[in-house]
């Protein structure tokens, strides 16, 4: 069924007007509103896009549940992918979450990759900035796989999040960092390979 949706979604994505693309995706059973850019393909299990803005040539594909909050803005050429293999019989006892949750008034710029075999959550008001960041929710032998980024965070360019990693609220993640674990603290700067706490009681919005 999802492979058929992928073919139909590819056709819907190249319709010439936003209103036609929104209508087409609604006919596929998705709850979508706002702007869906030309070439953006949505072929997932369920989708709820609440008056958000999607740029050009984004890809949402695989057996996952997608929820994007009001006022969220996603740039161009981002990939949100859940491998079809996760739905196969031999993987059903692995408890893959297949869940993408992007909070209200978030910003994701362009050229990022999100693996959604597990769960990826981006908190309200957070930014994934720059280009080329990757977020991975599966790996060989991994059982703690879900990624959560809190509210009002800023993630710089070319950052890598490993399965089971995450940050609290109001955290800035420096460019090029590799986040390999959960950082529970809030109002901090983390960075490095692997990432470590660089500053505490740090509000990136005020410093900016």
Q: State residue 92's pLDDT score.
A: 80
| 40, part of any domain | no
Contact 75, 61 (CB under 8 A): no
Distances, alpha carbon 182 to alpha carbons 61, 80, 135, 168, in Å: 27, 22, 13, 8
| 10, part of any domain | no
Q: What percent of the chain has pLDDT over 70?
A: 98
Q: 147 is in which domain, residue-wise?
A: 46-207
User: Poorest-confidence range of 83-92, 136-145, 156-165, 187-196?
Assistant: 83-92
pTM value surpassing 0.75: yes
Per-residue pLDDT band for 207 (boundaries 50, 70, 90) equals low
| 66, part of any domain | yes
| 23, part of any domain | no
State pLDDT tens for residues 27-58: 999 999 999 999 999 999 999 999 999 999 99
Q: Give how many domains the chain has, as a whole number.
A: 1
State pLDDT tens for residues 170-198: 999 999 999 999 999 999 999 999 999 99
| 34, part of any domain | no
| 136, part of any domain | yes
What does the buried/exposed string (b/e) look like for 107-117 if buried means 16 or more CB atoms within 10 Å of the residue's CB?
bbbbbbbbbbb
State pLDDT tens for residues 69-96: 999 999 999 999 998 888 888 888 888 8
Read off the CATH number of the domain in which 151 is found: 2.160.10.10
| 21, part of any domain | no
Distances, alpha carbon 115 to alpha carbons 24, 108, 165, 185, in Å: 25, 15, 13, 25
| 101, part of any domain | yes
**208, pLDDT greater than 70:** no
């Amino acid at each position: 069924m999802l492979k058929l949706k992928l073919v139909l979604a590819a056709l819907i994505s190249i319709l010439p007007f936003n209103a036609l693309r929104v209508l087409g995706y609604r006919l596929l059973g998705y709850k979508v509103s706002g702007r869906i850019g030309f070439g953006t393909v949505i072929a997932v299990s369920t989708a709820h896009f609440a008056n958000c803005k999607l740029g050009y040539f984004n890809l949402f594909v695989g057996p996952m549940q997608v929820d994007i909050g009001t006022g969220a803005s996603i740039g161009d050429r981002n990939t949100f992918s859940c491998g079809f293999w996760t739905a196969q019989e031999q993987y059903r006892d692995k408890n893959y979450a297949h869940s993408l949750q992007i909070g209200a008034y978030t910003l994701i710029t362009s050229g990022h990759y999100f693996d959604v075999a597990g769960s990826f959550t981006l908190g309200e008001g957070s930014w994934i900035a720059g280009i080329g960041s990757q977020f991975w929710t599966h790996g060989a032998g991994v059982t703690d796989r879900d990624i959560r980024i809190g509210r009002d965070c800023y993630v710089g360019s070319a950052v890598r999040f490993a399965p089971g990693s995450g940050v609290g609220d109001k955290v800035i993640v420096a460019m090029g960092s590799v986040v390999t674990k959960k950082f529970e603290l809030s109002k901090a700067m983390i960075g490095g390979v692997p990432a470590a706490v660089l500053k505490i009681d740090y509000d990136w919005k005020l410093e900016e």
